[in-house]
A and B are shown apart, each in its own frame.
Chain A
């Protein structure tokens, strides 16, 4: 008789437990948070000489896991899973990671696959990497000069040709690098976040070249949770963390710490977040 009562009580307790447990509860139960991170994009995500994962995004995740621990009331361990551009969204969809922060541009078609939270935490755009003797300083100064580019890039006309430069465009990045180093052109118009890994990883090769124009054509980056979680507690916590990082100037400091030339976008976001503007809240503008 006693056994029957115990058994039915246990069954009742099981049924009474809420079926819906969100991601934050899962993380609390596991005691660890699995995050997708980059290891191939210095200095946002890379490996040091001992093989440890370091970088600006890694610092952000260390801070975030502390916030998660505080929220759930117990220490949470950070488990990193290395992702690349071709599998970061798929890992999140399959549940291999709880979220990712992986140098991903926030685009509308990607928002249909993963839940990219707002606000965006960084932005890359178009700039010119120029030889130090080229006399290039700012977009007007590229007029009349030979600038290498990638064939088919949308900015070759808008920012290259229309500023008077002679754009010498090749099919692939390797050809452009060779042409630039051979001196066939004095600059390279490309995604500015691709220049930084080159300067960090191959400093002797790129010693004579620096980013010589301000960044234009910003395409902001976003961190993502899974699509089902985009209105859940984890997403809200992540948004609050990003807003706080902007407001407190943490992101600007991290940018400087990792040797990234300061971007106007990040400085503007800090001002916007301090002022509490709409761009710095956790909803998209069209919501």
Chain B
């Protein structure tokens, strides 16, 4: 491994391309941690936001007026405000209120925790609408037939509607999840040690902004590429032959 690091040191000395994340162990350590934090943050947010999407789409079909209105209010709040502002709102404002209510110091959640909460709700709001589109694409006759067979509302949703709706909305969902992965960069504003935050620190110390910008850009292309590959494989494997054509 030392040979690899030495090659990057040579690259800096011979050609002036300064990539300290390879040959400096401090920068290497914290950059790897940054990428790992981005992966963890993205994964947790994706899982939570999909759960919120599924639950929200279900609640939107509720016969109770106030449940439907609550879901609408949630969607409006989180879709109409920028994610960075939501993040500041949760980390500084909501946290102060929660901390004083619970009488704790040092924050109710740390920056990673609030980033998860804020970004999951943000992406969840979009997912609710995406799942709603999928649910409405399932023909009414299919769900009526299921009712006639004796399924109750929850069972119709879980066993009939949702599986079909899922296949319809997977491309849109894919889009939104990719956006979510890229949106995790806003967490740098509340000092969550993800890739952009760490890159910012490194280029301020080492004055190698162009090199670090290229590295960060490349990291995100790779991460999004992995997500896309995974989603496409999944899409192919759960495809219902002939459905939707």
Which residues in A have some Cβ–Cβ distance to B below 8 Å?
Answer: 151-154, 156-158, 161-162, 167-171, 175, 178-179, 182-184
CB distance from A76 to the nearest CB of B (A): 47
Selected contact of A157 from candidates B111, B191, B205, CB within 8 Å = B205
Q: Which residue of A156, A162, A171 is within 8 Å of B201 (Cβ)?
A: A156
| The one of B30, B105, B188, B189 that contacts A182, using a Cβ cutoff of 8 Å | B105
Find A152's partner among B99, B111, B189, B201 (CB 8 Å cutoff): B201
Contact B204 A152 (CB under 8 A): yes
Bound CA span A170–B95, Å: 16
B residues 171-194 with Cβ under 8 Å of A? Answer: 188-191
Taking a contact as CB atoms under 8 Å apart, the answer to whether A183 and B204 are in contact is: no
* Smallest CB gap from A158: residue in B: B205
How many of chain B's residues touch chain A, expressed as a range? Answer: 20 to 34
**Contacts A151-B200, A152-B204 given; does A184 touch B92 at CB 8 Å:** no
Q: List 21 A-B contacts (CB under 8 A).
A: A151-B191, A151-B200, A152-B200, A152-B201, A152-B204, A154-B204, A156-B201, A156-B205, A157-B26, A157-B201, A161-B26, A167-B201, A168-B191, A169-B197, A169-B201, A170-B189, A178-B92, A182-B96, A182-B105, A183-B107, A184-B110
Q: Which residues of A contact B191 (CB under 8 A)?
A: 151, 168-170, 179
In the bound complex, residues from chain A placing their C-beta under 8 Å from that of B111 are 168
Chain A interface mostly: mixed
- Given A168-B111, A178-B92, A182-B99, verify A154-B105 contact (CB < 8 Å): no
Chain B residue with minimal CB distance to A166? Answer: B193
Which has the most chain B C-beta neighbours within 10 Å: A151, A158, A167?
A151
Q: A232 to B112: give the CA distance in the assembly, Å.
A: 59
Q: How far is the CA of A169 from the CA of B193 in the complex (A)?
A: 9
B106 within 8 A of A: yes
Q: For residue B168, give the distance in angstroms from its CB to the closest CB of chain A.
A: 41
In the assembly, what is the distance between CA of A184 and CA of B92, in Å? 11
When C-beta atoms are compared, the residue in chain B nearest to A150 turns out to be: B204
A151 pairs with B204, CB closer than 8 A = yes
Shortest distance between the CB of B151 and any CB in chain A (Å): 50
Q: A151-B188, A167-B201, A178-B92 are in contact. List 16 more A-B contacts (CB 8 A).
A: A152-B201, A152-B204, A153-B204, A156-B201, A156-B204, A156-B205, A157-B205, A168-B191, A169-B191, A169-B197, A170-B191, A179-B191, A182-B99, A182-B105, A183-B105, A184-B107
Q: Are B106 and A154 in contact (CB under 8 A)?
A: no
Give the distance in Å from the alpha carbon of A154 to the alpha carbon of B106 in the complex.
26
Contact partner of B106 (CB less than 8 A), chosen from A153, A161, A184, is A184
User: Given A157-B26, A169-B197, do A183 and B106 touch, yes or no (CB 8 Å)?
Assistant: yes
Residues of B within 8 A of A153 (CB): 204
Chain B residues within an 8 Å CB radius of A169: 191, 197, 201
Residues of A within 8 A of B200 (CB): 151-152
Chain B minimum-CB-distance residue to A182: B107
